[in-house]
Structure 1
Amino acid sequence: MRQSENHPSPSVSVHRTMTPLEWGLLVALSVLWGGSFFFTGVAIRELPPLTIVFLRVALAAAILLVVLKAIGLAMPKNRSVWLAFFGMGFLNNVVPFCLIVWGQTHIASGLASILNATTPLFTVVVAHGLTADEKMTGGRLAGVLFGLVGVVVMIGPAVLDTFGTNVLAQLAVLGAAVSYAFAGIYGRRFKRMGVPALATATGQVSASAIMLLPVVLVADQPWTLPMPHPTTWAAMLGIAALSTALAYVLYFRLLASAGATNLLLVTFLIPVSAVVLGSLVLGETLQAKHFAGMACIGLGLAAIDGRIMARLRAETGSTTDATNVSATQSDPAVYQGRDI
């Protein structure tokens, strides 16, 4: 670790087309984050929202610190790295978690899910302006729009009736999506710094817990709350260990290799995971809108991935674009990224 801190690795390219392993990790991440809705639904019966958010990151930090010690990996002591941890925790946890929690006290969870699914759209725009290797393309933008339509179709048109009411709450959830987009670009720096994904995940949630502690003490006064039931503690352990600790290890692993735009496609897959898990575990019935939404999301992901369009261009004899893309990916001078 010390060697990596003193000699950070150079900026490297991200994959514009994800590998099968990266797609598998993305699906796994969507399942872990989709499961967080179940755990939160159990915990919210006895605990206030901000306390849940704090316990989520604090318990995840404790778990990851134990894992780091067990495998003999030391946390970085470099001041600049810890400043980056606090910046990432602020953008990726403190701001969006608080905005979403407040927003969902005024709007339906379905509408909040749709607004949160705009994250890849904001990420495409932010990445285009702030990086050199994640520029917007027609296929990528079309894919994001297809995915957004898929989320709307899957959740159903009835939830859209609430658009226009509680405007501040809707803007809060959109603000969270924007914060996630900036976090995705900001987090690219950890690979350049040579910080492993496990250490990055640990540092981010630790910094988030430190920042959230005074907020929770003032807002919720947790010492006044009755002792939660063991079921609630089990739910908190699940959301901390699986939906936060393990999920963020996958998050930073994917961010380093696949880039922010590809990584944040997970917000399209989370509703799919939630619907499928509800069908398999809870016996819920899949409706036509679910299949239609999944089809739109699938088209969007395929458009962003780019392989199908590349094959179509190749079959029609249009090889110019493929040649340009190949040259761009193989030329490190062209494919260098810069971070905010």
Structure 2
Amino acid sequence: MLALATIWGASFLAIKIALGELPVLTLVAHRVVWAALILWGYVLWRGLAVPRDAATWGALLTMGVLNNVVPFTLMAWGQQFIETGLTSIFNAATAVLGVLVAAAVFADERLTGRRLAGVLIAFAGVSIAIGLEALGGLDLRSLAQLAVLGGALSYACAAAWARARLGHLRPQVAAMGMLTGASLVMLPLALAVDGPVALPRAPETWAAIAWFAVAGTALAYLLYYRVLAVAGSGNAMLVTLLIPPVAITLGWLVLGERLAPSALVGFAVLAVGLLVMNRRG
């Protein structure tokens, strides 16, 4: 879990660095295409069965849009205008939104009193992190925060879609398939909006792409499924709480970012809400 939190936490820094040279859609195209190629290699090397029916590939395409295209794009766009650590804090709201989406979609995921209390506490934390001044008007910074929260909501919807439509697939195959679907969407989109997909010139941009595509996407998915298998979904949720401290620290050390005290207080309240939701008994 610590390794996974470190990989994902550092990915926020890598994205921020790459945004210095690459437009958003081109960045996301690099992320999903390289990761898809790596996971195709893994699936073929392991001899895992690749889906052959159109219905499954349609579901994987939808998953790629919900879990990759929409959140990667919204969060990368938002990160141009807000700090790395703050992006990771709003990303942590995925767990809260996931509970709400699951309660709305699945009969066995009802919103108990404990879960509702955790959701309300967590949303209070998000509101504190956004700040009262941001709630009073819409500027680029406010829109960026809303964009990142929109990405978190897309992740939550993707989790429900995966449970409903992709439960019959091996997790590694599902990850490969959704990234393939995401690539089929992002490449034409990046070409249409940004022009020919640019190859970076700066070595640090290449290093950033290598990190968020290879480690932060392809490797991280494989590692995440390993954590799920060993620790269970409840403990795996704790990774969500470990990511922001990594991202905040790296943003401070490498980029000199400083978060407002309200953002740190908001994350602490959000963390309490997540722990209340996940408490057994």
Shorter chain as denominator, the TM-score bin is: 0.7 to 0.9
Q: 1:99 to 1:232 in 2, by over 3 A?
A: closer
Aligned twin of 1:64: 39
Q: Distance in 2 between matches of 1:231 and 1:114?
A: 25
Q: Distance in 2 between matches of 1:220 and 1:123?
A: 32
Q: Distance in 2 between matches of 1:227 and 1:276?
A: 26
Q: Distance in 1 between matches of 2:267 and 2:105?
A: 31
1:285-324 deviation digits (Å, cap 9, x = unpaired): 99987875665355333312223xx3xxxxxxxxxxxxxx
Confirm or deny: 8 A CA contact 2:38 2:214 kept in the other structure. Answer: yes
Q: 1:141 to 1:96 in 2, by over 3 A?
A: same
Count of equivalent residues: 276
Question: 1:4-43, aligned counterparts within 5 Å?
Answer: 24=1, 28-43=3-18
Q: 1:206 to 1:137 in 2, by over 3 A?
A: same
Confirm or deny: 8 A CA contact 1:188 1:255 kept in the other structure. Answer: no
Confirm or deny: 8 A CA contact 2:95 2:274 kept in the other structure. Answer: no
Aligned twin of 2:246: 273
Indicate which of 119, 123, 127 corresponds to 2:94: 119
Find the residue that maps to 2:17 and give its secondary structure: helix
Larger C-alpha radius of gyration, 1 or 2?
1
Find the residue that maps to 2:167 and give its secondary structure: helix
Name the amino acid aligned to 1:211: V
Confirm or deny: 8 A CA contact 1:119 1:264 kept in the other structure. Answer: no
Q: Distance in 2 between matches of 1:273 and 1:29?
A: 11
Task: Identify the structure with bigger relative contact order (alpha carbons < 8 Å, sequence gap 6+).
Answer: 2
Shift in Å, 1:190: 5.8
Name the amino acid aligned to 2:16: G
Q: 1:231 to 1:295 in 2, by over 3 A?
A: closer
Indicate which of 157, 160, 172 corresponds to 1:185: 160
Aligned twin of 1:87: 62
Shift in Å, 1:57: 0.6
Q: 1:62 to 1:52 in 2, by over 3 A?
A: same
Aligned twin of 2:179: 205
Confirm or deny: 8 A CA contact 1:143 1:302 kept in the other structure. Answer: yes
Identity of counterpart residues, as a percentage? 44
Find the residue that maps to 2:201 and give its secondary structure: coil
Structure 1 length as normaliser, TM-score?
Answer: 0.67
Shift in Å, 1:249: 2.8
Q: 1:300 to 1:122 in 2, by over 3 A?
A: closer
Q: Which runs of no fewer than 5 residues in structure 2 stay unpaired?
A: none
Greater shift after overlay, 114-123 or 124-133?
A: 114-123
Indicate which of 201, 205, 209 corresponds to 1:228: 201
Shift in Å, 1:62: 1.1
Confirm or deny: 8 A CA contact 1:121 1:145 kept in the other structure. Answer: no
Report which of the two has the higher share of helix: 2
Structure 2 length as normaliser, TM-score?
Answer: 0.79
Q: 1:95 to 1:227 in 2, by over 3 A?
A: closer
Q: 1:304 to 1:128 in 2, by over 3 A?
A: same
